[in-house]
A = this chain, B = another copy of it.
Amino acid sequence: MVLMTGDEYRKSLRKRGPLKVYFTGERLKDPLKHPIVQASINSVALTYDLAHNPQVQDVMTATSSLTGNRINRFCHLHQSTEDLEKKVQMLRLLGQQCGTCFQRCVGMDALNAVYLTTYEIDQKHQTQYHKRFSEYVKQAETHDWVIDGCMTDPKGDRSKRPSEQKDPDVFVHVVDRRDGGVIIRGAKAHQTGAVNSHEHLIMPTIAMRNEEKAFTICCAVPADAEGITYFYGRQASDLRRLDQSTEGDIDCGNPEFGGQECLVIFEDVFVPTERIFMNGETEFCGRLVESFAAYHRQSYGGCKVGVGDVLIGAAATIAEYNGVEKASHIKDKLTEMVHLNETLFACGMACSSCGNATPAGNYLVDILLANVCKQNVTRFPFEIARLLQDIAGGLFVTCPSAKELQNPETRDIIEKYLIGVEEVSTINRIKILRLIENLTLGRAAVGYLTESMHGAGSPQAQRIMINRLANIENKKQFAKRLAQIQ
């Protein structure tokens, strides 16, 4: 079974055992039927359906390095800089299609990072992690899994190490070791698409110290494993999604697609040995975290650019609907939006084209440039969104509900007074305004703004890496030589 369709993916989710999912104080009876969850599943499903679209199959799929099969690129171990570039193009394409987070990159990035790290552990420790993990990747490819790359622990008091926390459970760790596996406890926060996944691939969240072996655990568990609880995050304007009338859809802005973030609790979950890929080799946590982060920082040079294209398109559309598309300042602002967006894309592509083969054989991006990419992503989307707000005019935050259009008492008034240029119906104008709200202050803004800030590591994390990789000593030599300093 390779290359599932979106519907097959939806079916595959239903085959999982029951998940324990909480939302607004209640356990959801059938999470997959919840409108908010469904919108998020629609985004993931796109990653399957587009793999069957002949026009984009080249970017959406790849030839497995393990089996030679044609597989979804989200399960692929990158075999070249071209593969790395196609990943970025794929993510941009998906962002353009759903205008939000499609939740499947983290797993892809985790697969590649664990793959290269397990190889390096085995080289040093004569362990079997890489072989085990290669088997795991084969399964992921074959079942076309959505994998939730689980890295970020809740962390408790950030001024303290994992081993110094009052309650060590704020970092996932091994609480018991037994024949055939280990028992883990802890939680992972901000888990994108967790409920929509087949698997969780758990990784340590920071470089660990010698005494933190229990926290040094990398392993995989199925999404329906015993002991897992999901807390679905509340997000901006989420309740609008509960109204699934046509007018509710309009008020949602992006009626079909949504994102998803969960807090996932692991309470004494058993992991069998064959699903353990690192277990106490503290000196490799840094390598795993940095390579995963690098892959994921590259990702943002694709997905956010795709969503950025939607913001630019929304800006151009509302300008046209308002009758101002020829104003020079509007054109200039659109140009600036494009410029910033393409700068992000350039960074995504550059860290790909400067990538290199790892000892394990898969390709890793240029780490310095990937961090530069993400650092820009913590800035430019905010400016692009600001420019969209500028071009949009203020109506997207003061507009009455589209439900007024369904009420015969008020429909004519709304249509009359909220018209823009004559050629465009008021309802279409409202639709684009609500999409703009969604992108800048609503559901999609969570992904386009806050996730751009903190996903794949907060800005300061990138700055530390940039400083470390900059080779400033070398640059000092350039300056000293020119100044003829002996």
Q: Is A345 an interface residue (CB 8 A)?
A: yes
| Interface membership of A13, Cβ < 8 A | no
Chain B residue nearest in CB terms to A379 = B386
Taking the complex as formed, is A326 at the interface, i.e. its CB lies under 8 A from any CB of chain B? yes
A25-B401, A467-B331 known; A478 vs B395 contact (CB < 8 Å): no
Contact A25:B323 (CB < 8 A) given known A257-B482, A332-B463, A428-B485? no
Cβ < 8 Å to B, chain A residues 201-216: none
Q: State in angstroms the CA–CA spacing of A414 and B454 once bound together.
A: 21
Give chain B residues whose Cβ lies under 8 Å from the Cβ of A157. Answer: 322-323, 419-422
A334 within 8 A of B: yes
Contact between chains at A239 and B236 (CB < 8 Å): no
Contacts of A343 in B (CB 8 A): 343, 347, 372, 376
Each complex incorporates copies of this chain amounting to 4
Interfacial chain B residues near A399, Cβ < 8 Å: 233-234, 263
27 A-B pairs with C-beta separation under 8 A: A24-B401, A99-B478, A154-B418, A156-B419, A158-B322, A167-B419, A229-B410, A234-B399, A236-B237, A237-B238, A265-B413, A309-B478, A313-B477, A316-B475, A320-B476, A329-B460, A339-B372, A342-B368, A350-B350, A379-B386, A386-B453, A389-B453, A389-B454, A390-B458, A393-B458, A394-B454, A431-B485
Contact A326 B234, beta carbon cutoff 8 Å: no
Contact of A313 among B324, B372, B404, B478 (CB under 8 A): B478
> Which residue from chain B places its CB closest to the CB of A459 in the assembled complex?
B390
Stretch of A69-77, A114-122, A130-138, A439-447 at the chain-chain interface: A439-447
Known: A263-B418, A342-B466. 7 other contacts (CB 8 A): A157-B421, A334-B470, A338-B467, A347-B350, A389-B453, A397-B451, A435-B482
